[in-house]
């Protein structure tokens, strides 16, 4: 189960395109996913941080998953993030994702009320047991205030439906401890700028905001690492990080939509209160796009 869904796959953490009135643009989402898969992306993760999942209505999240599964058309697995503030909503989202044909579901812990670890485990367990598809725990402590790698989730990580942890954290020590304690799980890299460090401690695959933008660089880095060419892999990580840095400076989620639109069609702005990109940010991103195309061309020449 783990190898067929995760393995060393490179998943795009897809954005959710929006029209000027902030309604979801399903046509643009389908075109984006098709373009990503055509260029070599190996999986799609929807309604996560990049997809503004927590800013979407329940019905919107259900329809985004349906669109993603339809656009993927069996070419790659679709993982649906179903984390929500109530257990009931997460269960409904999980059930809808399963019915739509999603390969797995994923969740962040619930927020705001200062839940105990036992409360969070019970929440996760109720959602996991409501469906028959695999589950990926989403660890993103800078947003949730809770680091899964610090312990307390042992009974959850032993459940047969739990196949991995999406680790979007700079705590590589904690990630390595998860790998050692739960060797049956996939530790999935979540920070694109940590892809090589993640591989070095045993991470399998990646789910990232920039994977779709620079899949060529990720694939080449993976190949060089597997071949033992660490110097070459480090050069690829540096190229990946050039784009990551520019996007973070501009506003990473808006930047992901702006740059992703260059591969398909304009993807709109983020839903408020996430800010629109200013003129300076757009100019900076246009320059980053030009550098990215140079990096891709250089990498293709090296790999030929």
pLDDT tens digits for range 131-190? 999 999 999 998 898 988 888 899 999 999 999 999 999 999 999 999 999 999 999 999
Q: Is 265 part of the annotated catalytic residue set?
A: no
The single residue of 138, 195, 257, 258 carrying the catalytic annotation is 138
pLDDT of residue 62: 98
The per-residue pLDDT for 289 is 98
Mean pLDDT of the chain: 96
Cβ neighbours around 295 below 10 Å, total: 20
Which pLDDT belongs to residue 147? 87
- Secondary structure element (H or E) that encloses residue 187, with its range: strand 186-189
DSSP string, 20-44: TTS-B-HHHHHHHHHHHHHHT--EE
Full domain range(s) for residue 164: 2-303
| pLDDT-based confidence at residue 301 (cuts at 50, 70, 90) | very high
CATH of the domain at 116: 3.20.20.70
Read off φ and ψ for residue 229, nearest 5 degrees: -90, 80
* pLDDT at residue number 95: 98
Helix (H, G, I), strand (E, B) or coil at 291: helix
pLDDT digits (tens, 9 = 90+) for 109-122: 999 998 999 999 99
Task: Answer whether residue 1 shows pLDDT above 70.
Answer: no
Residue 211, both tokens: 């994977």
Q: Is the pLDDT of residue 3 over 70?
A: no
Q: What is the pLDDT of residue 2?
A: 42
Tell me how far the alpha carbon of residue 102 is from its chain's centroid. Answer: 15
The lowest-confidence range among 15-29, 115-129, 138-152, 204-218 is 138-152
Catalytic residue among 45, 166, 257, 258: 166
Number of domains in the chain: 1
Pairing of strands 104-107, 162-167: unpaired
Q: 239-296: per-residue pLDDT in tens?
A: 999 999 999 999 999 999 999 999 999 999 999 999 999 999 999 999 999 999 999 9
What is the C-alpha radius of gyration for the chain, rounded to an integer number of angstroms? 18
Residue 9 pLDDT > 60: yes
263: left (phi over 0), alpha (psi -120 to 50) or beta: alpha
Residues 6+ apart with CB under 8 A from 138: 48, 81, 83, 106, 107, 108, 165, 166, 168, 190
pTM over 0.85: yes
Q: What is the pLDDT of residues 77-88, one digit of tens each?
A: 999 999 999 999
Burial label, 4 (beta-carbon count in 10 A; 0-12, 13-18, 19+): exposed
166 is catalytic: yes
Tell me the HSE value of 42 on the side-chain side, using a 13 A CA sphere: 16
Looking up tokens 């200013």 gives 278
Distance CA 63, CA 26 (A): 8
Distance CA 15, CA 102 (A): 17
């Amino acid at each position: 189960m783990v190898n067929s869904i995760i393995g060393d796959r490179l998943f795009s953490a897809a954005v959710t395109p929006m029209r000027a009135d902030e309604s979801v643009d399903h046509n643009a989402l389908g075109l984006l996913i098709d373009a990503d898969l055509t260029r070599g992306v190996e999986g799609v993760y929807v309604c996560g941080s990049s997809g503004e999942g927590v800013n979407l209505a329940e019905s919107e999240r259900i329809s985004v998953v349906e669109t993603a599964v339809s656009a993927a058309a069996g070419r790659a697995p679709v993982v649906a993030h179903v984390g929500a503030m109530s257990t009931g909503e997460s269960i409904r989202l999980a059930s809808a994702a399963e019915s739509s044909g999603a390969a797995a579901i994923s969740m962040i812990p619930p927020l705001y009320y200062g839940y105990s670890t036992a409360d969070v485990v019970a929440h996760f367990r109720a959602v996991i047991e409501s469906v028959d598809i695999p589950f990926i725990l989403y660890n993103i402590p800078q947003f949730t205030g809770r680091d899964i790698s610090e312990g307390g989730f042992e009974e959850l990580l032993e459940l047969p439906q739990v196949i991995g942890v999406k680790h979007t954290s700079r705590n590589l020590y904690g990630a390595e401890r998860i790998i050692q304690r739960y060797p049956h799980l996939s530790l999935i890299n979540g920070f694109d700028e940590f892809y090589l460090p993640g591989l070095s401690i045993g991470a399998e695959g990646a789910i990232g905001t920039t994977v779709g933008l620079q899949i060529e660089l990720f694939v080449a880095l993976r190949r060089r690492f597997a071949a033992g060419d660490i110097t070459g892999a480090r050069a690829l990580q540096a190229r990946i990080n050039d784009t990551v840095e520019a996007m973070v400076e501009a506003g990473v989620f808006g930047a992901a939509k702006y740059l992703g639109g260059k591969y398909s069609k304009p993807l709109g702005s983020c839903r408020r209160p996430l800010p629109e990109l200013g003129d300076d940010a757009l100019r900076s991103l246009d320059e980053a796009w030009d550098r990215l195309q140079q990096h891709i061309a250089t990498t293709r020449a090296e790999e030929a």
